[in-house]
Structure 1
Amino acid sequence: MKIVHRYVLKEHLGPLLFAVSALTSLMMLNFIAKKFPDLVGKGLPWTVIGEFLMLSLPFTLAMTLPMAVLVATLHAFSRFASENEITAFKASGVSMQVLVRPVILSAVVLALGMVWFNDQVMPRANHRLAQLQQDIARVKPTLALNEQVINEVVRGSLYLRAARIESGSNRMHDVTIYDLSDPTTRRSILADSGQLAFSRSGTDLILTLYDGHSMESQANSPQRLQRSFFEEDRIAVRGIAAGLDRGSSNIGYKSDREYTICELNDRVRAAREPRDIAWRRLHLARNPGDSLATPPRERWPLADWYCALQTRLSGIGEVKEAQAATLAGPAAAASLGILRAVQDPPSRNDAPPPDYDSVVLEGLRFEYSSAQSQIDRYRVEIEKKFSIAASCVVFALLGAPIALRFPRGGVGLTIGVSLGVFAIYYVGLLVGESLSDRGLVDPAIAMWAANALLGVVGITLTARLGSEGSTHRGSESSEWWGRLVEGVKTKFARKAA
């Protein structure tokens, strides 16, 4: 039996590696098409461009690896069936569940590895990518310029607004520049178009403007306005880019995707304090006599179990309470301020407004919804890291039964089923995340619903392996449909008799 298991895994490994490479390459090509024009031709060394693309790879790999499991499973078992190897296994007394078992076990191992990858590798890569983008933005301002907004080119002295910036170039249209470098003079420049370039040294920014005019006024005589027109004008901004300074960016803020699971869980715990305070005050306001009610708690504390296991394995102590209090931040202080306002309302001499209670309650509702929204946002990211990893097992459960039931499907079956399952799964994730962000669905349910649905289908199909029909062209479903029609006819015939 070990020989059979090794053979199945060997036949599964090749398609898996090919599928990972192909799907990751396709998604990276899409990413490169969007980002490459912003990086090439701007004086950046190729090592920096390569690092930028490599740091973008972990997020892409986290999405494509579960897809590759499904593609590889469909391809491997479809080939077994089409070449009559399944018939040979059955003749040798090997059940289909035993044949599928090594693929499912390997998917479990892969899922555990993906949990570690999503928790440790991907957040760090995302954070380093954000730092690299900040470093590049300081060297090449075009990477930091946004259309239809006022961009700060030089802090406190030079601002630029462009209605449209051509992708992949430094060409701008409908340009407005606000020059505040001289406190005694206010100068505005409007141009039909413009070009951004750097000097040969790479440290000075050269703004070339076309078909425009400038307006200048003195602070001591604001009623006078000097206006001049030009066909071409150049503005030199000295020392704006002294070269790529790696490691100089100090990003204090992290997005949700830049935190590990335990860091996200710490922030969930910290946000519970202001939420619970607001909830208790709201509950007591509606039910004055009920002081023993407990605030709502999150279900399925998967992150708590994972972090407890990680703490035990690494030998690190529990998170200090002071750290959680620091993470709570101003939200807890705001809730405590509202709590004091409810406990100590204004005295009669202060003549409180008639709608004082409603204002306080509205503030409590806002504090509760704000803290709960923050908790839900963090929990969505936590559950997503686990659910995407678990999808490897779900796709393995789906792939083998479908391939064995349609053995002559070939490449068409692999592509068609893969696209259908991917669409159902990832649309389910997107819809679930949107519903959870709105507070309509619990984050755990939202992120695990697609896994649960496809997992039930996969388990059912895997359990029924070996009960296929006598031919290779969907006879099982045909026979089931025939039995159903025959049963309905018999039932109506008895009623008519």
Structure 2
Amino acid sequence: MFFLFKWIDDLIGKGFEWYTILELMYYASAANVSMALPLSVLLSSIMTFGTLGENYELVAIKSAGISLQKAMRPLFVVILMLTFASFFFANYMLPKANLKFGSLLYDIRNKKLSFLIKPGVFNNDIPGYAIRVDSKEEDGTLHNIMIYDHRENNGIPKIILAKEGKMSKTSDGKFLQLNLKNGIQYEEQASKNGMYNPRQVFTRNRFKETWPRFDMSSFDPSTTDPNAFGNSTPMLNLKGIVKKRDSLNKQLDSLNIRTIATFTSNFKQFNTAKGYTKVKAVPKEINDVILKSIPNGSRKQALDNASNTVANIMQHVPNWVPRQTDLMGEIIFTTVEYQRKFTLAASCILLFFIGAPLGAIIRKGGMGLPVVVAICFFLVYHIITTVAEKSAREGNLNPIFGMWIAVIVLSPLAAFLTYKATVDSALFDVNYYKELILKVFKKKQK
């Protein structure tokens, strides 16, 4: 359903073969195993032990001197086998499925160019351009087109607006051609000396029809790195994730070393900073207003030097901060994906020890109450996992702790339910609570 909600409008009725769509759905379904498998373990364990309790088979088992934990051992062995299978699936099969899905989706996008464009969203897949359309038809016709050309002109974009257009490839397949109709092109000439000029040239051209071309070399498989898809973190196994994380850490260390060296050079410039001069002098106490500690004749020069130093630093900050943020985000993401391989396996064991005691306590089988209880507990597990993962991805939570927090929070609940089921607790028995309430009221009446 997730796959259909996201892609069905771009696949159905666009000329794709039915088996291509089924193949995409098959590869996309592998990613949903991490959600479906824990829920199926929880639901099946509740239904199994609920049916045993409803038919008084648990009573017969316990009367034979077999405890609940001993009765759970054969199923626990099955769950362990399923746990190992889920780990190997997440480590070997899921990365390959993600790789197949990504490469097949790439081929589809390269075959049907209109698939690139999403209505109402700026698309940056073509280097140097940002393209937005209000709507598109099934035959590929685009309406209300806006194109930003960032390739030249010192960062000043050339803007093209058109009411209608249609995408096509040139005969050699090297260029994407847009047939635009009824539009306007705006272009502002960049200043030659880099200073703002209120009288600089602004050009506006109206056209009935034009055919701008876009270089498609970035979409050519022959010029694309064959490992471009395989280097994506969700498409790597544990060994590949560790290798990528080490590479990212080296890049981050190199970036920090270069940045520190650049910043330090600004403070070494006049050889007056502490630690960079051999002249020994008594340390001078500086008040809150630093300028008061500087002689009157040197204050202007000190201010100029300080502003120049800050200006030099600020030239590097816009380049350094985004790159560092991207590298830190990638490192966190690799840690999250590394831990995900293990949390999928651990969730199977955790939810089994929640579901089996619950089934023994509620003593209801079938698809009624067990389904409701299973969904409620799974929602708690899924919400905790999703919120913690998002916080970890944003850097607000340790990624290892964030991926395991659901297991940490729900493990005491599993132990509590197992204990209650072992001692035949009436935790979900409505009659027990009715009798308890009646006893309380009778004591108050006395």
TM over 0.5: yes
- 1:192 corresponds to which residue? 163
- In structure 2, the residue matched to 1:331 is 252
How many angstroms does 1:256 deviate by?
2.8
| 1:400-439 to 2 correspondences below 5 Å | 400-408=356-364, 410-439=366-395
Corresponding residue to 2:242 among 265, 269, 275: 265
CA RMSD after TM alignment? 4.8
Say which SS state the counterpart of residue 411 (structure 1) adopts: coil
Alpha-carbon distance, 1:172 to partner: 2.9
| TM-score w.r.t. length of structure 1 | 0.63
Counterpart-to-counterpart distance in 1, 2:122 and 2:214: 23
CA deviations over 1:89-144 (Å, ceiling 9, x no partner): 23333222222222222222211221111111112221232222222222111222
- Report what 1:149 is aligned to: 122
Kindly indicate whether residue 17 of structure 2 is the aligned counterpart of residue 70 of structure 1.
no
1:479 CA drift (Å): 7.3
Partner of 2:81 in structure 1? 109
8 Å CA contact retained: 2:48, 2:365? no
Deviation track 1:247-298 (CA, whole Å, cap 9, x = no partner) reads 9773536333122222222344x2xxxxxxxxxxxxxxxxxxxxxxxxxxxx
Any conservation in 2 of the 1:175–1:191 contact (CA below 8 Å)? yes
Report the CA distance shift for 1:198/1:412 in structure 2 as closer, same or farther (over 3 A): farther
Secondary structure at the aligned position of 1:71 is classed as: helix
Unaligned 5+ runs, structure 2: 151-157, 190-200, 274-304
1:445-470 C-alpha deviation (Å, 9 max, x unpaired)? 21111112222211222133242258
Pick from 219, 242, 252 the counterpart of residue 228 of structure 2. Answer: 252
8 A contact 1:160–1:175 mirrored in 2: no
Matched, 1:35 2:12: no
Number of matched pairs = 388
2:335–2:400 Cα contact (<8 Å) kept = yes
Match of 2:100 among 105, 109, 128: 128
1:206–1:234: 8 Å Cα contact kept in structure 2? no
**What SS does structure 2 have at the residue aligned with 1:464?**
helix
Match of 1:386 among 338, 342, 350: 342
Q: What's the TM-score once normalised by structure 2's chain length?
A: 0.69
2:135 aligned with 1:165, yes or no?
yes
Relative distance call for 1:171 and 1:412 in structure 2 (3 A) is farther
Picking from 417, 422, 427, the partner of 1:461 is: 417
TM alignment of 1:204-283, pairs within 5 A: 212-213=182-183, 227-229=206-208, 250-252=226-228, 254-268=231-245, 270=246
CA–CA separation in structure 2 for the residues paired with 1:329 and 1:478: 65
Q: Which moved more, 1:327-336 or 1:120-129?
A: 327-336
Query: Which residue is equivalent to 1:49?
Result: 21
Is the Cα–Cα contact under 8 Å of residues 145 and 165 in structure 2 kept in the other structure? yes
Match of 1:295 in 2: none
Aligned residue for 2:296? Answer: none
Q: What secondary structure, in the 3-state scheme, does the structure 2 residue paired with 1:93 have?
A: coil
Match of 1:3 in 2: none
Indicate the SS of the match to 2:368.
Answer: helix
Alignment CA distance shift 1:215-1:30 (3 Å):
closer
* Change in CA separation of 1:375 and 1:207 when aligned onto 2, cut-off 3 Å: closer
Deviations 1:191-236 (A, max 9, x none): 43445578999999886767x346699x9xx99976454xxx6969
> Take 1:403 and 1:395, find their aligned partners in 2: how far apart are those partners?
12
Partner of residue 16, structure 1? none
**Secondary structure of 2:31's match?**
helix
Whichever residue aligns with residue 123 of structure 1, its letter is: P
- 1:139 counterpart residue number: 111
- Structure 1 unaligned spans of 5+: 1-28, 181-186, 271-325
| CA deviation after TM superposition for structure 1 residue 395, in Å | 0.9
Identity of aligned residues (%): 22
Q: Is the 8 A contact 1:469 1:475 kept in 2?
A: no
User: CA 1:75–1:202 in structure 2 vs 1: closer, same or farther (change >3 Å)?
Assistant: farther
Following the alignment from structure 1 to structure 2, what is the Cα–Cα distance between the partners of residues 224 and 189?
Answer: 12
2:278 is matched with none
Decide whether the 8 Å contact of 1:37 with 1:169 is kept in 2.
Answer: no
